[in-house]
Amino acid sequence: MAGSQAPSIERLIDCFNRLPGIGKKTAQRLAYYVLSMPEEDALKFASAITDAHKKIHRCKKCCNLTDDELCPICRNAKRDESIICVVEEPKDVVALEKTQEYSALYHVLHGVISPLNGIGPDQLTIRELVKRVNDDNVKEVIMATNATAEGETTAVYISRLLKPLGVKVTRLAYGIPVGGDLEYADEVTLVRALEGRSEI
């Protein structure tokens, strides 16, 4: 097998192989597919990678990734500026935007507090969040970190920083996923769902 493929093909396979969830065989399939694409499309793909890296930086306000000074959401005058939803990653913003039910602003932490991985509050954008709550007319901060131990810790840490500033801090509800079977929900989720029950 070694030496049966051209070095530049092997380099391309290796690049795909480094992506998360892409194994050796998928990497090979993708590399040969890229080779079979018209040259124009392949060059477009390559420049999309370099472009994104050169143009993309953090939004001055919410720290989401953008290619302008402010991201499209922060630029949008129709957005309610009194509420900030705090998420871990840019893709969480995409997930929440898909609901089309949230029309206020976001704040992207770019991670969670994780002492095991050497990530403390200073590596996240918590300082920027506190500054926003101080400077802008923010009434509510919704913590929407993941429902993991680290996401919880981060949410609690941030809420303790923000409460003295007189802002309301809330948390996404826990419960059974819509469409999910009670049978497959874990105990902790069921306990939280019971605690958070509401009148019909």
Pairing of the two strands 168-171 and 140-143: parallel
Interaction with its own copies in 74-103: which residues (CB under 8 A)?
A: 89-91, 93-94, 97-98, 100
Nearer to its own copies, 43 or 165 (CB): 43
Q: Does 149 bind its own copies (CB under 8 A)?
A: no
Biggest alpha carbon–alpha carbon distance for the chain: 68
Query: Site for its own copies (CB under 8 A): which residue of 17, 34, 114, 172?
Result: 34
Among candidate residues 106, 116, 101, the one with its CA nearest the CA of residue 149: 116
Q: How far apart are CA 118 and CA 125, in angstroms?
A: 15
Q: Does 46 bind its own copies (CB under 8 A)?
A: yes
Q: Does 49 bind its own copies (CB under 8 A)?
A: yes
How far from chain centre, in Å, is Cα 188? 24
Q: How far apart are CA 151 and CA 36, in angstroms?
A: 43
Residues in contact with its own copies by CB under 8 A are 1, 3-9, 11-12, 14-15, 18-22, 25-26, 28-35, 39, 41-53, 55-56, 65-68, 71-73, 89-91, 93-94, 97-98, 100, 183-184
